[in-house]
Homo-oligomer: A and B are copies of this chain.
Amino acid sequence: MIGIDWGTSSFRAFRLDADGTVTDRRVAARGILAVEDGRFEEELLRQVGDWLADGERQVLMSGMIGSRQGWQEAPYLPCPAGPAEIAAALGTVGCEGADLRLVPGLTCTDAAGTPEVMRGEETQIVGVLEEMAPRALVCLPGSHSKWARIEGGRIVGFATYFTGEAFAALSAHTILARLMRSAPPDPAAFDRGVARAGEPGHLLHHLFGVRTLGLFGRLAETAAASYLSGLLIGHEVRAALPGDGTAVHVIGSDELSALYARALTACGVVPVVHAEDAAARGLVRLGREAEWR
């Protein structure tokens, strides 16, 4: 089968053999925002047409490709949901020469009734379910970081944090930008930011401190971006950790995972870190659960 993790900004395809081993892969900066006029079928053929010509027929896609802005909407499935529920809710997309299915996103509501959504992360989580205890917490860092609670091998609920986008907007479009000079990541400054997040005061107060520390010569321009990153991730991690010793798993890019692992460790929790291509394993698992073959 072919598994595709097709997100907002990137396209990642995996050719999988009967054992679920990745035999080939294609990665392109062809996320759904880069595909014009809804020409997703054309794009699919451009990326993996040779695999299809080679005899592959089953294609399972996860991510924003199943959103309103994607190829076809796969309605959100409510939590709790595990591999069985997700596999039973796959959407079907008409596509000549392929049996194309869509993984639905998940939804839940927080304690106060505000809705939550994820699309793509559920597949990554499914990909590492077998490596975690029946009860665990999964952190998927990103523009919109997700923290999912796993119980009995199912996703029972999750919360999203706007951390990545907040960092991008605050570091580029506020007065803080003037205090920053682009430089390699500064781990010590990141750690200071994480520690600051644990001090009294709200995030909105701590943000102004980025400015005053710069003004008073206590934070170098080359360190300010790492400090801000640590401050925001530190706030997120402290807010998301339940504090009950639940094991935490991190799934993400090497760079982001390393930052989150660092922040979590500073907060007393050493996480298990998984590679981003948990998506490939999740697609295999869902394909199997769907009894597609």
Contacts and interface: CB of A to CB of B under 8 A. Distances in A.
Given A162-B207, A173-B169, A174-B168, A114 B200 contact: no
Interface in A137-169: 143-144, 159-163, 165-166, 168-169
B173 A213 contact: no
A173 B169 CA distance: 6
A46 interface: no
A175 interface: yes
Nearest to A208: B160
Contacts of A239: 201-202, 204-205
A232 interface: yes
A24 interface: no
Interface in A52-96: none
Nearest to A203: B203
Nearest to A114: B209
Interface residues of A, number: 44
Contacts of A165: 174-175
Given A162-B207, A202-B239, A204-B239, A114 B174 contact: no
A293 interface: no
Nearest to A170: B169
Contacts of A44: none
Interface in A23-64: none
Nearest to A233: B204
A201 B159 contact: yes
Contacts of A212: 114-117, 160
A236 interface: yes
A236 to B, nearest CB: 5
Interface string A194-236: 0010011111110111001101101000000000000010011
A182 B204 CA distance: 25
Interface of A: 110-112, 114-117, 143-144, 159-163, 165-166, 168-170, 172-175, 196, 199-205, 207-209, 212-213, 215-216, 218, 232, 235-236, 239-240
Given A110-B201, A111-B200, 13 more contacts: A110-B200, A110-B205, A112-B200, A112-B201, A115-B218, A116-B212, A159-B201, A160-B212, A162-B174, A162-B208, A169-B170, A169-B174, A202-B239
29 contacts: A110-B205, A110-B209, A111-B199, A112-B201, A114-B199, A114-B213, A115-B212, A116-B208, A116-B212, A117-B215, A143-B175, A159-B205, A160-B208, A161-B202, A161-B205, A162-B204, A162-B205, A163-B204, A166-B170, A166-B204, A169-B174, A172-B173, A202-B235, A202-B239, A202-B240, A203-B203, A203-B204, A204-B232, A204-B239
